[in-house]
């Protein structure tokens, strides 16, 4: 029998916010077992999640942007100032909508955060 991971543990392993994991479960992107009002995720689903994140095929939850300490960019995205965001972050093209803006900001700043982390 494979090990079951709690959704909070999965969030830490993958590096996403707990709310994002809960949203994925609700949307049916991943399958989870509900035991005593908590969600548990199998090893196979964990591997699927890691692949989704590695491919950049997930959109971060708004809370994740705030958690990374980037309320400035969050405001710019919310106000539709996509050109400013693209210029500040050195993006090749400005995002087309708010959701794409959040995603691009998250990806760029997350890469910078891990790049600066000592190993």
pLDDT of residue 48: 78
Long-range interactions of 85-93: CB distance < 8 A, separation 24+ = none
Question: pLDDT higher for 30 or 119?
Answer: 30
Residues 22-37, mean pLDDT to the nearest whole number: 75
Cβ neighbors of 69 (< 8 A, separation 6 or more) are none
Q: What is the mean pLDDT of residues 94-108?
A: 86
Residue 107 confidence (pLDDT) above 70: yes
């Amino acid at each position: 029998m494979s090990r079951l991971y709690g959704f909070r543990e999965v969030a830490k392993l993958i590096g996403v916010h707990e709310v994002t994991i809960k949203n994925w479960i609700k949307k049916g992107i991943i399958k989870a077992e509900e035991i005593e009002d908590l969600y548990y995720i199998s090893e196979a689903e964990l591997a699927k999640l890691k692949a989704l994140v590695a491919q950049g095929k997930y959109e971060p939850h708004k809370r994740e942007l705030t958690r990374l300490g980037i309320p400035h960019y969050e405001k710019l995205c919310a106000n539709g100032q996509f050109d400013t965001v693209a210029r500040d972050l050195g993006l090749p093209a400005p995002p087309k909508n708010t959701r794409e803006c959040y995603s691009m900001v998250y990806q760029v700043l997350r890469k910078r955060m891990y790049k600066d982390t000592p190993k």
